Chain A
Amino acid sequence: MTKNKTIKVDYLARVEGEGALYIRYDDGGVHDVKLKIFEPPRFFEGFMRGRDYLEAPDITARICGICPVAYQMSAVHAMEDALGLKPTAELRALRRLIYCGEWIESHTLHIYMLHAPDFLGYPSAVDMARDHPKVVQNGLQIKKAGNAIVSLLGGREIHPINVRVGGFYRVPSAGELRPLREQLVEARDMAADTVRWAASLPFPKFERDDHNRYEFVSLSHPSEYPMNEGRIVSTHGLDIAPAEYDSHFREEHVEYTNALHSVLVARGAYLVGPMARYNLNYAQLSPLTQQVAEEVGFPPYCANPFKSIVVRSLEVLYAFDEALRIIDSYRQPREPYLAIAPHAGTGYAVTEAPRGLLYHRYSICDQGKITDAKIVPPTSQNQKTIEDDLRTLLPKFLHLPEDKLRARCEQAIRNYDPCISCATHFLKLHMRRATGGANHGS
């Protein structure tokens, strides 16, 4: 007698956004994995056409409530590339500082509220908070320090309004930054403790075979851990300028989803985000960050996505260290922004959003109106790798009871901190187990 089993979760919790995932498998292997994203087809790119180039940072920041700074940074850098504008070192440092704030906010939210419950065996952050209020309290306090950075530089924590092409509408004085310092020093200590705590969590054993290794892709900069600038590099030898992005990456329509899947033209799926940055740029992390990584025995190369929570915690520690370095060496820019008359051109930029590469390309006319826009968020770049992970992972955990297997799949998705809200409406998880014979249910 054959026995079919179906596991269905109508709503995948603790991810940014909503979508659906369908898995069909049996004892012989995984036959179908579909991450479905019901994204309205790129309305923001159409929405941008005809708008003034100065509006790009503030409009694109509205794509996501969690990583608005990333959208602003990619937008301003792409516009400046189109206009041939090079911000001063002081303005560049301030941009790096506000990005530090967003990394802290976004990573800390994911570490403590979205991912930690998986490792501690709770269905939600609320349930975890009942037993571990101190853990949640720490997370909220660390995140608050990130909020303070974004608030000071961006004018407010959510959808900052102070970023503009050429610099900022207003820049802080050294005196305004000083009160932030004490808060950041205290939070940096907590961030180091977070690394120690995260490294002590129980991690599922999962690494891909040699023939199926991840291609990690991130920015790389000669003198700093990448945020706003650099070349796009990979563990498989890719090394290109942001302007070459469209020649090496392609977006594909996939039948079951409205979102586009991004692939490397030469090799297919790839992985962006904290693990990629860490693996390709470990040497650029601050001495303190490397020291804490060594202290907890975390290697300079990590290929187990379940350990991405440790990598995120190391990046939070780095962001505090970097923010303090910037504040300590801060010189107020003479002008808050560099002004330039618009002229026709096309500009490209890739920056490192908390979740990975965020590509923007704009063309503008002589009047400064946007004639074309392209935006590729990190989650659309990781979709194929998420699906591949589930294909690879499932056979290794078939011994688990169904509820635990389902939880493991959800956890595997959360490894990537997918920001589906940049691109979707609803996420459902359907797992169909077929132990021979016909399938029914979904």
Chain B
Amino acid sequence: MAVEYSASWVVISLGNRFRGDDSVGPYILHRLRSQLAGIAECIENSGDMTRLMEDWSGRRVCMVDALVDDSREVGDILRLDGLAEPMPESVSTTSSHGLNLGEAIELGRIMQALPLELKLFGICGRNFNTSAELSPAVIDAAVIVEKEILEQLIPQGGDHQCTNNP
């Protein structure tokens, strides 16, 4: 039976899993899938930004992607509130598929198809060649982002968040 996720968290990865550091999003998503079973949906998006509006509308989203930013070190992690904070160019222009992430957010705003919450995790990469491995610094960063997403989605040791105040 299909699990209903409509009101819950969704983790979305951007990037191409065969293009070196661009695959860090799908890599993190792959590691999260089994840990988030029944808690959050995991969606791999490799470039169709219009799909984002369908996938994130009215939901809470963690999004992971690779960045190209010469002013940062490989493996640097950029954390953003995608709905509230201004988006640096290295993030807003992510995806080369006609529309970019910044446009997808703006389009979502106009079409009233925004997520309730959009946590963006961008990891700076260096090698985007086809069939290249992830850079070691990117793998280290991926582990940190994975942990942060798990803490966000499973705050209390694997169970749902406790709301009681002792």
Contact = CB atoms under 8 A, between A and B. Distances in A.
A binds B: yes
A180 to B, nearest CB: 16
Interface string B63-78: 0000000000000000
Interface in B6-59: 16-18, 44-48, 50-51, 53-54
B58 to A, nearest CB: 15
Given A129-B107, A147-B51, A421-B47, A47 B131 contact: yes
A11 to B, nearest CB: 8
A175 to B, nearest CB: 15
B156 to A, nearest CB: 31
Interface extent on A, as a size class?
35 or more
Given A62-B46, A147-B51, A16 B106 contact: no
Interface string B108-145: 00110000000000000000111100000000000000
B110 A140 contact: no
B103 interface: yes
Nearest to A424: B96
Interface in A113-163: 113-114, 124-126, 129-130, 133, 136-137, 140, 143-144, 147, 157-159
Given A125-B107, A143-B50, A158-B46, A18 B18 contact: no
19 contacts: A14-B98, A16-B98, A44-B18, A62-B18, A65-B46, A66-B48, A66-B97, A105-B48, A109-B98, A114-B98, A124-B103, A125-B107, A126-B103, A136-B111, A140-B53, A147-B51, A158-B48, A158-B51, A420-B96
B18 A113 contact: no
A114 B53 CA distance: 17
Contacts of A130: 110
Interface in A364-399: none
Contact of A66 (B47, B103, B111, B128): B47
Given A14-B99, A126-B107, 8 more contacts: A16-B98, A46-B131, A66-B98, A129-B107, A136-B110, A140-B111, A158-B46, A159-B44
Contacts of A65: 16, 45-48, 97
A15 interface: yes
A139 to B, nearest CB: 8
A287 interface: no
Contacts of B50: 109, 113, 140, 143
Interface string A82-126: 000000000000000000000001000110011000000000111
A410 to B, nearest CB: 13
The 6 A-B pairs at the shortest CB distance, nearest first, are namely A65-B47, A65-B46, A43-B130, A129-B110, A126-B106, A47-B131
Contacts of A113: 50, 98-99
Interface residues of B, number: 26
A223 B51 CA distance: 34
Contacts of B46: 62, 65, 158-159
For A65, A113, A147, the residue with the greatest tally of chain B CB atoms inside 10 Å of its CB is A65
A126 to B, nearest CB: 5
A125 B131 contact: no
Given A18-B96, A129-B107, A109 B129 contact: no
A238 interface: no
Nearest to A426: B96
For B98, B128, B131, the residue with the greatest tally of chain A CB atoms inside 10 Å of its CB is B98
Interface string A5-46: 000000100111110000000000000000000001001101
Interface in A241-289: none
